[in-house]
Structure 1
Amino acid sequence: MTPSLSPTRNPRPTSIRSSLTWTTVAPPAALVVLALAWGREPGTVVALLLAVFLGAAVLAAVHHAEVVAHRVGEPYGSLVLAVAVTVIEVALIVTLVAAGGPETASLARDTVFAAVMITCNGILGLSLLLGALKHRVAVFNAEGTGAALATVATLATVCLVLPTFTTSRPGPEFSPPQLAFAATASLALYGLFVLTQTVRHRDFFLPVAADGSALPEDATDEHAEPPSGRRTLLSLGLLLVALVAVVGLAKVESPTIEAGVQALGFPASFVGVVIALLVLLPETLAAAKAARRGRLQTSINLAFGSAMASIGLTLPVIAVATIWLDGPLLLGLGSTQLVLLGLTVVVGTLTVVPGRATTLQGGVHLVLLAAFLFLAASP
């Protein structure tokens, strides 16, 4: 008698196949490609292939950061992604400055300022535009958003504006005591904001209803069930792998990026803009997705949280790195950059104070981003 086939033999292979999605395969695959390409100068075809794996690693990082964020809830989820993206930024700046020598003295300033402009105008403007298009008027918590903008403005002034006007060193450069003070103040202010956002006044950073009233905390959670602890730990591990792959592949691609910027006739400072655009891609995608879901406060938390992390965490690391890095560290902004930063703060304040925004406010911020990108390419 022929034995019947048991229906219990298929579930295990099916579950294995279902777990091997592109988001789980991309980070380790990108890490393998990085190991093969490390220490070599890629040609055109190889550079394009590396760019594909780099993009896949970025998108996978977004996915796994969202899984972790869903598990821990808001605003902790925004904080996870903001810190993760800043790790990429800091690692890229330090590695490129160490490899480039004195010629990269302004790379940290260019990258951090680009990150501030992209987050406070690009991510914020896109989120407001998407939210207003869906709901006619985008509503958010003015108290938490205003506190975040004030923190960003203070950090940017202390770290990027004051070096232009100090006189202890020639040029837009801090003296060692001034750099130590700015780094300590930045780290302390960022830590204080995180404490406010996650403990003391967490409700200021949660989504609000259409009439501006606070939503019950359980109403801010996604409808889907939170991921299990095992899946969260897996995503956290894959997120770390993806971040390492992104940093390494971007480092390998840096000669190609620099050559492309030079071939286009853009100034060398535009390399910092490219780095900022690259590392903030996960934030931009996550913020746009949240805005389309009607969770505008999450998008704003991502925008301002990334701006704060870019300054408050990057500068202390760079300050410590100057102990063994050669050459000056130019942090002060030029006249055009100062005007754009001042206008961003003024417009951002007018956007935040009402707690409501239309497509016009989103468009204004996007135009400011376009002006920054155009003037960065054609000063």
Structure 2
Amino acid sequence: MATARYAFVFPIAAVSLAAVGSFLHIEVSDLMAVVSTVLLLGTAFSAVQHAERMSARLGQPYGTLVLTFSVTLIEVSVLVSLMMNGTNNPTLAREAVLSTVMFVLTGVVGICLLLGGLRHHEQEIRQQGVAGYLSVIIAISVLALILPDQTWAGLQGATTQVDVIFIMIAVVLLYGSFLFMQTVRHKAHFLEGEEEAHSRPTGRQTLVAVVFLLLSLVGVVSLSNHVAGGVEHLLSQMPLADPDAVIGAVVVAMLLLPETITAVRAARRNHLQRALNTALGSALATIGLTMPAMVAIGFIIDKQVELRLEPEDRVQLLLALILSVVSFGTGRTNALTGLVHVVLFLVYVMTLFSP
């Protein structure tokens, strides 16, 4: 199980650039933003490579959790940098969370089902495991993104702080309960019938993977401020109706790219359950961890965080959730199922630019 050279080069380059920039007090410029973005993407891919090596050592589902938590930490760091950069953007966290759910449930899942179906005609999944993911995703999505607008305070145009805190506690409780079921009580529901054979990394290889995974995360967090400034500056030049929605979607698209490639490769190898574990796990971690983290940080730094969705976003979210339940209801998927998800994804992307 070889690790590509870039998995070692990018983390070192990212940390070095961040250290030099901090030491010399280099201002955020267009060139710096471009270089930082390239290094951040490369380092994110590196993190996935090292997380996969740890996954082979730890086994499933713990390996998938390492990857999920790593990407969640990267996403939070970039979103916090965006939140603290420039003027207050209260809907950024909400848009990023919504984009993650929509990208995963329609885009990533759709591509996996479409390409897997075209290659293998029909693919099987463990319904109990996928149902576990979807039940918690549906509950948290509705509680965090739809309910705040339907409470008495929400209907008056303002969600109270008590409401938000209580909802976030419920979100963390649901996610924690899911992790217990996934890793302890019902672990078999999230595994494939036959696991793909991998050579188990040695203790030394695993230690190297741990060190470079941590180095990758440090590199991404260090560069996130430069990337945030560059993304906002670039998009500010465009006549966008809803800049926060597009910024959130761009950040999510960048950060989900490594997990998307991992999931698509697994689906093409006819390991759809592993692909769904990666994809749905990232969506669940985003709404279960990223959203509470963003709300908490918003309170700490005195930045407003808006959770309520716009009507068109609410409709698309509910449609994606309902479609996901139907798509996995039989335990078998095919290319048609994937095509429907991809079409919904394209509609969502269109509404980002033409709401």
Q: CA deviation at 1:363?
A: 1.1
1:29 aligns with 2:13: yes
State the Cα deviation string for residues 103-147 of structure 1 (Å, max 9, x = none). 311111010110111111111111112221221112111111012
Query: Which whole-Å CA distance do the structure 2 matches of 1:104 and 1:171 have between them?
Result: 21
Query: Matched residues in 1 for 2:212 and 2:293: separation?
Result: 24
**Larger displacement relative to structure 2 (86-95 or 292-301):** 86-95
Q: Is the 8 Å Cα contact of residues 84 and 243 (structure 1) preserved in structure 2?
A: yes
How does 1:162-241 map onto structure 2 within 5 Å?
162-168=147-153, 173-207=158-192, 215=193, 219-220=194-195, 222-241=196-215
Structure 1 residue 33 displacement after superposition: 1.3
Q: Which moved more, 1:149-158 or 1:291-300?
A: 291-300
Structure 1 letter corresponding to 2:340:
V
Q: Contact 1:172 / 1:332 at 8 angstroms: preserved in 2?
A: no
Name the structure 1 match of 2:235.
261
AA matched with 1:336: E
The equivalent residue for 1:70 is 56
Contact 2:81 2:224 in 1 (8 A): no
Structure 1 match to 2:42: 56
Query: 2:346 corresponds to which residue?
Result: 370
AA at the equivalent of 1:160: L
Residue identity in the other structure for 1:34: A
Give distance in 2, aligned partners of 1:124 and 1:166.
32
Question: Take 1:172 and 1:76, find their aligned partners in 2: how far apart are those partners?
Answer: 42
Shifted more, 286-295 versus 323-332: the winner is: 323-332
Shift of 1:226: 1.0
Q: Counterpart of 2:141?
A: 156
What's the CA shift string for 1:1-48, capped at 9, x where partnerless?
Answer: xxxxxxxxxxxxxxxxx9993312221111111223345444444433
For residues 314 and 55 of structure 1, what CA distance do their matches in structure 2 show? 19
Task: Give yes or no for the alignment of 1:332 onto 2:275.
Answer: no
Q: Structure 1 320/327 Cα, relative in aligned 2: closer, same or farther at 3 Å?
A: closer
Question: In the alignment, which residue of structure 2 is the partner of 1:314?
Answer: 290
Aligned match for 1:124, one of 103, 109, 112? 109
Question: Which residue identity lines up with residue 320 of structure 1 in the other structure?
Answer: A
Distance 1:290 1:20 in 2: 18
2:243 counterpart letter in structure 1: A
Where does structure 1 differ by over 6 angstroms across 4 or more consecutive aligned residues?
A: none
Structure 1 pair 45/321, CA: closer, same or farther in 2 (3 Å)? closer
Cα 1:63–1:173 shift into 2, 3 Å: farther
User: Is the alpha carbon distance of 1:43 and 1:323 closer, same or farther for their aligned partners in structure 2, counting shifts above 3 Å?
Assistant: closer
The DSSP-based 3-state class of the residue aligned with 1:162 is helix
Structure 2 segments unaligned to the other structure (5+ residues): none
Instruction: Tell me how many residue pairs correspond in the alignment.
Output: 350
Q: What do the CA deviations read for 1:51-96 (whole angstroms, capped 9, x no partner)?
A: 3222221221121111111111122222111111111112222232
Distance of 1:94 and 1:172 partners within structure 2 = 25
Aligned to 1:247: 221
List gaps (5 residues or longer) in structure 1: 1-17, 208-214
Other structure's SS at 2:300 match? coil
Instruction: Identify the residue that residue 98 of structure 1 maps to in structure 2.
Output: 84
Rounded to whole Å, the distance in 2 between the matches of 1:201 and 1:80 is: 18
Once the two structures are TM-superposed, the CA of residue 304 in structure 1 deviates from its matched residue by 1.3
- 1 CA distance for matches of 2:113 and 2:332? 9
Give SS of 1:198's match. helix
Q: CA RMSD in A?
A: 2.0
Identity %: 34
The alpha-carbon deviation at position 169 of structure 1 amounts to 5.5
Of structures 1 and 2, the larger Rg is shown by: 1
Cα distance change, pair 187–19 in 1 and its aligned pair in 2 (3 A): closer
For the residues of structure 2 that align with 1:363 and 1:251, how far apart are their CA atoms? Answer: 37
Structure 1 pair 129/285, CA: closer, same or farther in 2 (3 Å)?
same
The equivalent of 1:11 in structure 2 is: none
